[in-house]
Structure 1
Amino acid sequence: MFTITLTSLQATTKSTTRLCFKSLYRGTLHHQGADLSPCLGRPYSSFRGQTSLSFTKWFPRCLSTRLMSYGTNVTPGRYRKGFFLVTGAATVAGIAAGVSHFQRAEMASKIIQTETDEEDILERCKSFMCTPVTDVEVLQQRKDQMCTRMEMLIMETQAAFCKALQQVDGGTFRVDRWQRKEGGGGISCVLQDSKVFEKAGVNVSVVFGNLSEEAAKQMRSRGKVLKAKDGKLPFCAMGVSSVIHPKNPHIPTVHFNYRYFEIEEADGTKQWWFGGGTDLTPMYLDQEDAIHFHTTLKKACDKHHPQYYPDFKKWCDRYFYINHRDERRGIGGIFFDDLDSPSQEEVFAFVKSCARSVVPCYLPIVRKHMNDSFSPEEKAWQQLRRGRYVEFNLVYDRGTKFGLATPGSRIESILMSLPLTARWEYMHDPPKGTKEAEMMEVLRKPKEWV
């Protein structure tokens, strides 16, 4: 890991150019989507429809480069010049954009530099829903390692979101701590059949061990080159995941998850990547809510790269697609996976911004609608839309399949994402001109909200 401090445009241009060509030969990550959450409460998801991005390319850390998440092979050498021109995430695009991009990079570097100066780990743990999965003494001994920093982030995210939901609802989360005999464990926080939320789950998992054959096969199918030793691939995975199903049909369902994964290969080298996203599933369309939600996510993305939001918004729209219905699960948000460039520090800073945007992007919407009146017909529509939510999670979500295929998985945490109640009606189709039909139109044809 390293931190870049920029002093002048000329010096930066030279050092960045060197960094680019070094990065090309050192390599970056794969970005084709599959979740790695063996036991995370709400299983990880990943991208399905494979199409090209409009501009930025995110490159893997292996020499056999692939375009981000889309499975397009790139021949090393042929695209070296293109790599220099389009890898804005590695602070190169700023050369064309001007000094402002480098100023942002310098600011980000300063933030990263002070990361290790945060208060003592023991003090930070006092604000969590319970003690971390990893022993606190171990965390203190390796406080500068990414696995520790990520575990602290997901614990903080869980606590912040749970406390915000409790403040609105008035109820209290049930906190279940669980262990995985193969290694690691998790913390499941669930609020069920309460005043505002019918079911709200916010889960953390930190698991390790050897990757199962099925999980390894799933990764290789999306382009990862994994070299096992004696048939074993040691891994470490951690993340925070949440799905909220409100009682009032005018309050949208929200989902988010942010995660980190490491695999140790036969020669001792490690592959690492981050993934995650936040998306909204309203039952009724509210333009103001949609704009607020997407604007908040865009601000979090724009702190790190101007292409993050447009690229990850498209990725989200394509991933949360119910193919057999020809409709999206909701109005999207952002989604990314296998993100490992331009550096571990910079990707972690981006993930941190996204995780900390969850409360401000969702809680104002909850407060706005929590006292809205609704009819039995509107409640029935909510139940039907929840049925679609279940269909996506059980039929298409690759993270659900991965979790269920991983030894030691906790079924209650994996299926926490399912609503308490749902409904399926035969051949239901909302009448034209209704609010329900308006919602369906957006689900079939995604919109640009900001």
Structure 2
Amino acid sequence: MIAATPRLQRAPKAIFLTSSRRYPLPLPSAQARCYAAPKSSTPPKPRPYEPEKPLVSARPKTSQDATRLANLPKQEEAKQSVKAPYIRIAVGVVFIGSIIYSMFTSPLQLTEAPSIADRDSISKRESGVTEKSPMRLRMEALIKEKQSEIVAALQELDPANKFRTDTWSRPAGGGGTSCVQQDGNVFEKAGVNTSIVYGTLPRPAIEKMRVNHKAIDPDVDSLEFFAAGLSLVLHPQNPNAPTVHLNYRYFETMDNDGKCNAWWFGGGTDLTPTYLYDEDAIHFHKSIKDACDKHDRGYYPRFKQWCDKYFYIPHRQESRGIGGIFFDDLDGQEKDQEQLFSFVKDCLSSFLPGYLPIVTRRKDMPFGEREKQWQQLRRGRYVEFNLVNDRGTSFGLNTPSARVESILMSLPLTARWMYMHEAEKGSREERILGVLKQPVEWV
């Protein structure tokens, strides 16, 4: 007789917690229990406690639960991806808001303060140059005006050969204009230059300048400065026409705010003939003396002597030419600033009346190879003085960012040096050498 097989009953369900959901799993059935291993007589060893792990592979109750379970990581990821742009926007709003707030509550320093040169440029552009402007701006305006006037007058002497005009600027501030004519019918080389310089003086230069200007602070390591000048040199083609030189300048030192703490004027003009014509020398000196006498009758004899001493070539034991006037370092100890500025203006105005009549009557005179050779020898002396003895050339070449072409504009286009050259006795060449060895009082 076959024993009745026990009826399989539905197994009770056990509940396991996975995350926050309950997933029902069936308990082992009775039939499954029939195949369990027989109980051992020896009791099993106790197993160490291990925390239960959620059964991730447990089956969901329904298909909807399965879909929710599958989509759960994606939903969490989507939530995070939605949150990220809002976080970035919030941070950006706070950052931009802080910048806007700082702009209204405190000045935002993005660039350096404007330099003295920049401030002067703004002042000229907005208000122009008036009698109330700083002297440096008034001197700059004066030399530019006189440059245009002189170039126009010289151009009339030789209309076919135009002046070349170069305008340049300096990185530290300032600049200038060079007007040069070469190989013309009247002038072999003619240059009329303006120069405006802003810069910083190092301590050695300050100590050297303080010898003549006690107003300069001796305790500073550097000092802002401004220099403006008009310089011209005219070398005619004809040996009978004299070379002429002119330079008038203004110099001042300033604090960082542009306030002047020391200033002075300098300059002069002189004539260097190849052959001497007394009437030319007298006319030139008289025009200068008339300008000086308007301001001080002691100026001409004093500055004429200064010129003879300055334009002296020690290694040749002779002067460069027949002189004119020269002065330097004229500051408040001499006269007030307005008086000295007026004096410089009158000296500049006297140049064309003093020189143009001379070159006009000499430029077409006949000459030969002998006269041209002597002219080249005298120009060699001119070069020697400018490169060896002239303080202006030395200062210019040692100024940072110097424009060498403008500084050496004063040199002639051609020159000559001959070994042991001697002038013939009783010649015109010997006569001019005698005057160069011993200066003459022309007026």
Match of 2:428 in 1: 435
Q: Following the alignment from structure 1 to structure 2, what is the Cα–Cα distance between the partners of residues 442 and 300?
A: 24
Q: 1:39-78 to 2 correspondence within 5 Å?
A: none
CA contact (8 A) 1:214 1:405 kept: no
- SS of structure 2 residue aligned to 1:206: strand
Instruction: Name structure 1 gaps, 5 residues minimum.
Output: 1-132
- SS of structure 1 residue aligned to 2:222: coil
Match of 2:174 in 1: 184
- 1:222 Cα deviation after fit: 5.2
Match of 1:17 in 2: none
Q: 1:324–1:142: structure 2 CA closer, same or farther, 3 Å change rule?
A: same
- 1:196 Cα deviation after fit: 0.6
Paired AA for residue 321 in structure 1: Y
Match of 1:284 in 2: 275
Match of 1:162 in 2: 151
1:298 aligns with 2:289: yes
Match of 1:23 in 2: none
- 1:220 Cα deviation after fit: 3.9
Match of 2:325 in 1: 334
- 1:167 Cα deviation after fit: 0.4
Q: 1:359–1:342: structure 2 CA closer, same or farther, 3 Å change rule?
A: same
Structure showing greater Rg: 2
CA contact (8 A) 1:174 1:191 kept: yes
Match of 1:201 in 2: 191
- Count how many residue pairs are aligned between Structure 1 and Structure 2: 318
Q: Following the alignment from structure 2 to structure 1, what is the Cα–Cα distance between the partners of residues 136 and 330?
A: 16
Please report the TM-score for the alignment, with normalisation by the length of structure 1: 0.68
1:360 aligns with 2:391: no
Paired AA for residue 185 in structure 2: K
Q: Following the alignment from structure 1 to structure 2, what is the Cα–Cα distance between the partners of residues 239 and 270?
A: 19
Q: Following the alignment from structure 1 to structure 2, what is the Cα–Cα distance between the partners of residues 411 and 269?
A: 28
Q: Sequence identity of aligned pairs in percent?
A: 58
- 1:148 Cα deviation after fit: 2.0
- 1:230 Cα deviation after fit: 5.0
Equivalent of residue 344 in structure 1, options 337, 342, 346? 337
Q: 1:250–1:233: structure 2 CA closer, same or farther, 3 Å change rule?
A: same
Q: 1:174-253 to 2 correspondence within 5 Å?
A: 174-213=164-203, 215-220=205-210, 226-227=216-217, 230-253=220-243
Q: 1:344–1:306: structure 2 CA closer, same or farther, 3 Å change rule?
A: same
- SS of structure 2 residue aligned to 1:211: strand
Q: 1:138–1:444: structure 2 CA closer, same or farther, 3 Å change rule?
A: farther
Q: 1:141–1:437: structure 2 CA closer, same or farther, 3 Å change rule?
A: closer
Q: Can you list the C-alpha shifts for 1:235-267, whole angstroms capped at 9, x where unaligned?
A: 111010001111111110000011111112699
Paired AA for residue 378 in structure 1: E
Q: Following the alignment from structure 2 to structure 1, what is the Cα–Cα distance between the partners of residues 431 and 179?
A: 35
Q: 1:252-263 to 2 correspondence within 5 Å?
A: 252-263=242-253
Q: Following the alignment from structure 2 to structure 1, what is the Cα–Cα distance between the partners of residues 437 and 300?
A: 21
- 1:151 Cα deviation after fit: 1.2
Match of 1:72 in 2: none
Q: Following the alignment from structure 1 to structure 2, what is the Cα–Cα distance between the partners of residues 412 and 433?
A: 40
1:137 aligns with 2:117: no
Q: 1:324–1:164: structure 2 CA closer, same or farther, 3 Å change rule?
A: same
Match of 2:306 in 1: 315
CA contact (8 A) 1:166 1:172 kept: yes
CA contact (8 A) 2:177 2:195 kept: yes
Return the structure number with greater relative CO, CA threshold 8 A, min gap 6.
1
- SS of structure 2 residue aligned to 1:429: coil
- 1:207 Cα deviation after fit: 1.1
- SS of structure 1 residue aligned to 2:401: coil
Paired AA for residue 237 in structure 2: K
Q: Following the alignment from structure 2 to structure 1, what is the Cα–Cα distance between the partners of residues 150 and 340?
A: 22
Match of 2:26 in 1: none
CA contact (8 A) 2:175 2:196 kept: yes
Q: 1:230–1:222: structure 2 CA closer, same or farther, 3 Å change rule?
A: closer
Paired AA for residue 294 in structure 1: H
Q: Can you list the C-alpha shifts for 1:311-347, whole angstroms capped at 9, x where unaligned?
A: 1000000000000000000000011111123110100
- 1:224 Cα deviation after fit: 5.0
Q: Can you list the C-alpha shifts for 1:244-293, whole angstroms capped at 9, x where unaligned?
A: 11111111000001111111269966111111101000000000000000
Q: Following the alignment from structure 1 to structure 2, what is the Cα–Cα distance between the partners of residues 362 and 355?
A: 12
Equivalent of residue 408 in structure 1, options 398, 401, 407? 401
- 1:139 Cα deviation after fit: 6.1
Coordinate RMSD, CA, aligned:
2.0
Higher mean C-alpha displacement, 149-158 vs 316-325: 149-158
Q: Which has the higher strand share?
A: 2
CA contact (8 A) 1:331 1:446 kept: yes
- SS of structure 1 residue aligned to 2:172: coil
CA contact (8 A) 2:246 2:270 kept: yes
- SS of structure 2 residue aligned to 1:423: coil
CA contact (8 A) 2:206 2:218 kept: no
- SS of structure 2 residue aligned to 1:233: strand
Q: Following the alignment from structure 1 to structure 2, what is the Cα–Cα distance between the partners of residues 324 and 392?
A: 10
CA contact (8 A) 2:235 2:244 kept: yes
Q: 1:90-101 to 2 correspondence within 5 Å?
A: none
Q: 1:141–1:242: structure 2 CA closer, same or farther, 3 Å change rule?
A: closer
- SS of structure 2 residue aligned to 1:160: helix
Equivalent of residue 414 in structure 2, options 411, 421, 429? 421
CA contact (8 A) 1:199 1:420 kept: yes
Q: Can you list the C-alpha shifts for 1:378-418, whole angstroms capped at 9, x where unaligned?
A: 00000000000000000001111111111011000010000
CA contact (8 A) 2:318 2:436 kept: yes
Q: Following the alignment from structure 1 to structure 2, what is the Cα–Cα distance between the partners of residues 344 and 301?
A: 16
Q: 1:205–1:134: structure 2 CA closer, same or farther, 3 Å change rule?
A: farther
Q: Following the alignment from structure 1 to structure 2, what is the Cα–Cα distance between the partners of residues 265 and 228?
A: 13
